[in-house]
Amino acid sequence: MGSIEHRPRTDRSASGHGAASEKLQELFAVRLQSERVHFVTLSAALARAEECPAGIFDDLTFRAHRLRGAAATFEFANLAEAAGTLEKASLAAASARAAHTDPDVWEALVALVQMLGIIEENTRGVPGVQPAVRAD
């Protein structure tokens, strides 16, 4: 089976699924806003962790894994790669019982949150994409 990053793109308008695909893309953009909030929340928890933050690393691994798969499905190759990098770093940190300051995790986490922020900025004003609602 070939890499998803090298899969030829299909012409969605020719298949008659253009509107449905656009709606799914809009829903995915909303999900990405929510994901960014979750990753920021996890980064705050990681920064405050005093003991081995294995549980936080596990949460980061799980959430990054899910995001990697979804991003690949919607052909966001760079986002899938960034999520995969965080997944690997947090999995390694959990296995090594690393401290909350693990540089590989922080580098990958910051890069992913920044990328999600850029995507959010680029989807502002797109019809059908509403900002994520946060409970403060």
Q: What is the pLDDT of residues 75-131, one digit of tens each?
A: 899 999 999 999 999 999 999 999 999 999 999 999 999 999 999 888 876 555 554
Query: For domain 22-123, which architecture applies?
Result: Up-down Bundle (1.20)
* pLDDT > 90? residue 56: yes
Whose tokens are 């940190």? That residue is: 93
Where exactly are the structural domains of the chain? 22-123
**Dist CA 79 CA 84 (whole Å):** 8
pLDDT, greater one: 10 or 18: 18
Which amino acid, one-letter code, is at 61?
Answer: T
Report, as an integer, the average pLDDT of 14-34: 77
